[in-house]
Amino acid sequence: MGRQPCCDKLGVKKGPWTAEEDKKLINFILTNGQCCWRAVPKLAGLRRCGKSCRLRWTNYLRPDLKRGLLTQAEEQLVIDLHARLGNRWSKIAARLPGRTDNEIKNHWNTHIKKKLLKMGIDPVTHVPLNKKESSSPEDQKNLQQQEPKEGNNGDLNSEENNSNSSSPTENSSSGEESLLLDSICSDDSLMMDNLWMDHENTLVDALLWDTTPKVEGTNTNTNNVDMGLTVPSWEDNNNYAWLLDFEDIGVHDFGFNYCFNEIDHSNAMQTIGSERKGSLA
């Protein structure tokens, strides 16, 4: 028996989202919270697949998203994490507050990959290219066994397992993490060694650790801890007063303030769009 399609193909709109659709989706999630994506399109009055709604929300409309290009520090962190985790973009994104897996993946493919190649580093294995070329086929074979297969080695598995019991941010400060780091950075196979160490005390403190602005008197939702932002549950806050907390951490920087001003949504959406374009320019 085949898998059911995630939505009825007939009458489902595809392609770029319009401001009107964005408005509907935002309004719906502000009112009802994130739940049961399959039901969202119908309830929100959208002719879209639930999957598409989820993607639009998580990659574009979510209030805690940063806008614009990755900073140099973020980029370096992505490189370091990719060396450890491989193409597990969601795990990498979980370490970069306000960034999505899609965004990081795109940035990797369009910018970082090329940069690494220019530097003479294989973007897949993070091994200097000249070293790979000079080695014998047997060496290469051994190397592949030692290198994480797309970032998958034993240590990484252990990290993955740990992630079930505690958040990655918690893991990051453990001794295990240090051991993992040591084992990964043990030889010249990773030029990232120095790069990582350079950032260990800065980036890691700033990004891996939970730097959540604690909000008194609100529930917190651990689902969002990975984002580095402890955002109260949508469901638990019918009045969404917690949204105001974003003002303290710069929500206006990415235009979400428009969404709950309730003044002119269509204008707001256009403004968000143009702001985004501006920030990318």
Partner DNA sequence: AACCTTGACAACCGCGTATGA
Partner DNA sequence: TTCATACGCGGTTGTCAAGGT
Q: What is the binding site for DNA (CB under 7 A)?
A: 1, 3-4, 6, 13-17, 35-38, 48-52, 54-56, 59-60, 69, 87-91, 101-103, 105-107, 109-111, 114, 150, 276, 280-281
Nearest to 104 by CA among 79, 127, 84: 79
Nearest CB to DNA, comparing residues 110 and 134: 110
| Encoded tokens for 183 | 């084992």
State in angstroms the smallest separation of the CB of 194 from DNA. Answer: 26
Q: Give the whole-angstrom CA distance, residue 270 versus residue 166.
A: 40
State in angstroms the smallest separation of the CB of 1 from DNA. Answer: 5
Nearest to 88 by CA among 97, 75, 98, 78: 78
State in angstroms the smallest separation of the CB of 179 from DNA. Answer: 23
Strand pairing partners for 152?
149
State in angstroms the smallest separation of the CB of 83 from DNA. Answer: 15
State in angstroms the smallest separation of the CB of 120 from DNA. Answer: 19
Q: Give the whole-angstrom CA distance, residue 192 versus residue 84.
A: 10
Nearest CB to DNA, comparing residues 22 and 177: 22
Q: Give the whole-angstrom CA distance, residue 193 versus residue 167.
A: 24
Whether residue 151 contacts residue 82, with contact meaning beta carbons closer than 8 Å, is answered with: yes
Distances (CA, A) of 56 to 21, 245, 251, 267: 10, 23, 18, 19
Nearest CB to DNA, comparing residues 87 and 140: 87
Nearest CB to DNA, comparing residues 82 and 193: 82
Helix (H, G, I), strand (E, B) or coil at 167: coil
Contacting residues for 265 by C-beta, under 8 A, at least 6 apart: 23, 26, 27, 258, 259
Nearest CB to DNA, comparing residues 8 and 133: 8
Nearest CB to DNA, comparing residues 111 and 132: 111
State in angstroms the smallest separation of the CB of 3 from DNA. Answer: 6
